[in-house]
Amino acid sequence: MRISNYIDYLQHSEEELAKAFKAASKHHVAEPDVHEMCKLFASWSLDHAENLNTMVDRYGDEEEREPDRLGYSMLTMRTGSLGLLSDLHDLWLMTNEVKLVWIILQQCAKALRDEKLKLACVQFGSQTRKQAEWLMMKIKHAAPQILTVPA
């Protein structure tokens, strides 16, 4: 089954998202809410990636590999208020990519009647949705001030 390709992709994407949240937390320490929430979200994504190991074991490794598609690089964070907005934007894009893969796997779990996979998709997909919702709220709040107030 090709589902293992998506499980591997999701695991890698969650690990990359955790790295990006950690980087944002460290870089934007002057923004207490961004610092704390990104630290929390990094721990969620790491937990998701670790829990995917059981699914990797269950569905095995597929010989046919797709190249990694998530190519965002959050290793170099931007500075200033515009940099914060750009970093939040990138995190939102990454989070929504991960959210979509959880949805895809949940549909596969239903087709396979795999209750463990379905439960994981519901639980971890819900946390990913909360990550995306918080990022969108923060972007909506910050963008008008950052983009319309003279520098």
113 domain residue, yes or no? yes
| pLDDT for position 149 | 87
| pLDDT for position 128 | 98
Q: Write the CATH number for 127.
A: 1.20.1260.10
Distances (CA, A) of 60 to 15, 19, 97: 19, 25, 23
| pLDDT for position 79 | 84
Average pLDDT, the chain: 91
| pLDDT for position 137 | 98
Classify residue 149 as left (phi > 0), alpha (psi -120 to 50) or beta: beta
For the stretch 50-59, pLDDT in tens is 999 999 988 8
Count of domains for the chain? 1
Of residues 14 and 67, more confidence is placed in: 14
24 domain residue, yes or no? yes
Q: Are 132 and 99 in contact (CB under 8 A)?
A: yes
150 domain residue, yes or no? no
| pLDDT for position 60 | 79
102 domain residue, yes or no? yes
Average pLDDT in the 30-54 region?
97
Whether 39 shows a pLDDT value over 90: the answer reads: yes
Distances (CA, A) of 99 to 27, 28, 90, 130: 24, 24, 14, 10
| pLDDT for position 150 | 86
Whether 71 shows a pLDDT value over 70: the answer reads: no
68 domain residue, yes or no? no
Of residues 50 and 76, more confidence is placed in: 50
Query: For residue 30, what are the domain limits?
Result: 3-61+77-145
